[in-house]
Chain A
């Protein structure tokens, strides 16, 4: 009897043990997150089976994981086809070379369709390109704005105006401008790539710009005085005082910007038809097969995981550059 009592939820020993158990480090880092995820999966499969769409029941975790495996095996199959394609060409060329020694062999590039993994790579490349370009503009501009109250007053209304603009509003304009300006016979980049990059850039500029300018404007007055008393030149002042002291703020801005960039990218790819995850979602949606919803769910989860990974990388970098260990843990 007493055994049953000890394990009944009302008994104080049970509560004590549960409490202790929940406080342990293992529970915090492994068990509780696992519990959260398990609950989510359970709820998902229950709710999913209740929702009937025109494409059949909403996919549950099982269907989604099946599609994830399917997408990976499609990728493998495509790569094998590609290898076989090149192999065939080489064989053919070798044969022909035997017959006509002065034949110059040509290799035609394989133009199979992009696999799911290819699309992930494209998305990551696009977002990083847009993000790097945005940072190259936003950090110097933020420093200039932060250093001068006058520049700040002049620029601030514009920043506030441009900051809340959605990528969907930019994209048509960007598309038109890019097709007008970017005309070459031998394009190094696809137009759709450039459209996405520019849109990502326009939207992800602002957090870095604003954080940099705030960081620069709020350098400790004592350090400003040091700089004045030592009469540091403008460049030395920026390099030795301004940059290091606003580095944590700059990186916080970069982290926010990268998050924005990743969100914007998916929308931009959908519309610009840049061959990335966004286009994948859009194509599946248009396709409307019985597997489409499950495939879109795979993409949704992938988008979340990559966004999470990018954020972690930025957090790690922030910890590396911060001279003050306090700021790294925020």
Chain B
């Protein structure tokens, strides 16, 4: 048989019909470049997730050093009050569409430091909107990958031209609405005199 006559190889079978939005979402889903942004212990797990064993590269995730090239910000580790406004700045420097994964209890809610610490911010979602929360102290790389998979579902539903998807954020793989936490305070102008 002529190879071009084999099923699947004929010209009319090589054509996929899709909407522009779906096509763009498909591309985004498979190339989530993440910002290499590690503050504390969870950052080591993030690095090990990028290491040879877990190898998140195969999911199209490649670390970028600058927020301008990143689609995804993985907040890995404790965010202190001193650091929080810098995180906001980094997030503002990312181009739309952008996603945020909060990795570990500290970034979710302050974790082990929520009660007695005077300097730790209890949850990064007070500064930037979070799409996926991954619990754990630290979460295993598998949990991180699971969280990224949950995020990919959201990315797939993202519409660049059509109506925006407004489904609530998820907790590591379960489509469980968490509700009510994702409030970004209105900062107005940045405070004077602070770098």
Chains A and B come from one and the same complex: no
Binding site for A on B (CB under 8 A): none
